Copies of this chain bind each other. A is one copy, B any other.
C-alpha cells in the first residue's frame, strides 16, 4: 500500500496526526465540505488508508468531531483558583476565542447536532452537558447550588452563549470581545437569583 507519508509514524500516531489535521480543516469548513478527498489531498495520504482508519466519511466526521469537542473542553477549562466570576470570565473568553478560531466547523456542528446524525448529536449533547456540569463540580466556578432549577437555567444560558457568540462572529454589533464576555456572564446571576 502506498501511503504517500513523508515521515515514518506508528499507525496510532499517524491516525492522531490525521485527526488533528481534520480538526484544522474543520475550522474553516463545514462538515459537508470536510470530505475524505480533502483530507487525502491536504495530508498527502491515500484515500485507501483513510478508509482503513475511519471506515468512511461518517466515521471520519465522528472521529474529528470527538477530537474537536475534547479540544473545546480542554481549552475552556476554568482556572483552578480565583473568584467564581473570574473563573467564569476566563472560561467564557476561551470559549469565544475557540468559536472565533473554529467558526465554520462549530457552526455546522451546532446544525448537525440539531438535525443530523444521531452520533454527532450525542457527541454534541455530551459536550454541552460536560460544559454545563462545571458549575456543579468543585473544579468550576461555584456560583450556585446544585438544584434542578439551576441546572435548567445553566442549560438555557449555554444556549444563549452559543447563539450570541456565533451571531457576534458574523456581526460584532459594536461590542468588543471583552464586552461580549461581560454581558453573557452577567445574565447568569440574574437567572439564578430569581429561583433562589
Q: Give the segment of A10-18, A42-50, A52-60, A169-177 that binds chain B.
A: A169-177
Taking chain A's interface residues, is the majority helix, strand, or loop, or is none over half, making it mixed?
Answer: helix
Q: Which residues of B contact A168 (CB under 8 A)?
A: 152
CB-based contact A183/B114 at 8 Å: no
Q: For the complex formed by this chain, how many copies does it contain in all?
A: 2
> How big is chain A's contact interface, by range?
35 or more
Q: Which residues of B contact A171 (CB under 8 A)?
A: 148, 152
Query: Of B113, B156, B161, B193, which one neighbours A164 at CB under 8 angstroms?
Result: B156
Instruction: Check A160 for interface membership: any CB of B closer than 8 A.
Output: yes
Given contacts A149-B173, A155-B163, 11 further A-B contacts (CB under 8 A): A114-B115, A152-B168, A156-B160, A156-B167, A157-B160, A159-B160, A183-B191, A186-B191, A186-B193, A186-B194, A187-B187
